[in-house]
Amino acid sequence: MTVDFLIILLLGAASGGLVNGLAGFGTALFALSFWLQIMPPLQAVSMVVVMSVTSGLQGVWLVRASIADQPRRLLRFLLPALPGIPLGVAALTVVSATFLKVAIGSFMILYGGFFAFRSALPKFERRTPVLDGLVGFLGGLLGGAASLSGALPTMWCAMRPWPKAETRAVLQPFNVVVLGLALVALALRGAYSWDVIKLIAIALPATLIFAQIGIMIFKRLNDDQFRRLIIAMMFVSGIGLMLRVLASGV
- Angle at CA 73, nearest 5°, toward 79 and 233? 90
CA dihedral angle for residue 143, residue 147, residue 153, residue 156, rounded to 10 degrees: -120
By the 10 Å C-beta count (0-12 exposed, 13-18 middle, 19+ buried), 123 is classed as: exposed
Specify whether the CB–CB gap between 50 and 146 falls below 8 A: no
Look at residue 205 in the predicted model and tell me its pLDDT: 95
Please tell me the distance from the alpha carbon of residue 202 to that of residue 206, in angstroms, as a whole number.
Answer: 8
Cα separation, 24 vs 100, in Å, equals 22
Q: How far is CA 190 from the centre of its chain?
A: 23
Q: What angle do CA 182, 188, 190 make, to 5 degrees?
A: 110
**88 touches 132 (CB < 8 A):** no
**pLDDT value for 206:** 95
Using the Cα atoms of residue 59, residue 61, residue 63 and residue 69 in order, give the sign of their dihedral: positive
Q: Quote the pTM value.
A: 0.82
Q: Is the dihedral of CA 140, 146, 150, 156 positive or negative?
A: negative
Per-residue burial over 84-122, b = 16 or more CB atoms within 10 Å of its CB, e = otherwise: bbeebeebeeeeebeebbbebbeebbebbeebbeeeeee
Position 146 scores a pLDDT of 66
CB atoms within 10 A of CB 75: 15
Please give the angle made by the CA atoms of 68, 23 and 111, to the nearest 5 degrees.
Answer: 110
Predicted confidence pLDDT, tens digits, the chain (250 residues): 788 899 999 999 999 899 888 888 778 778 877 887 888 877 888 888 899 899 989 889 989 999 999 899 999 999 999 998 888 777 766 777 677 778 878 888 888 887 777 777 667 778 888 999 999 999 888 877 766 788 889 889 888 888 999 999 999 999 899 888 888 888 887 888 999 999 999 999 999 999 999 999 999 999 888 888 888 888 888 888 788 778 765 5
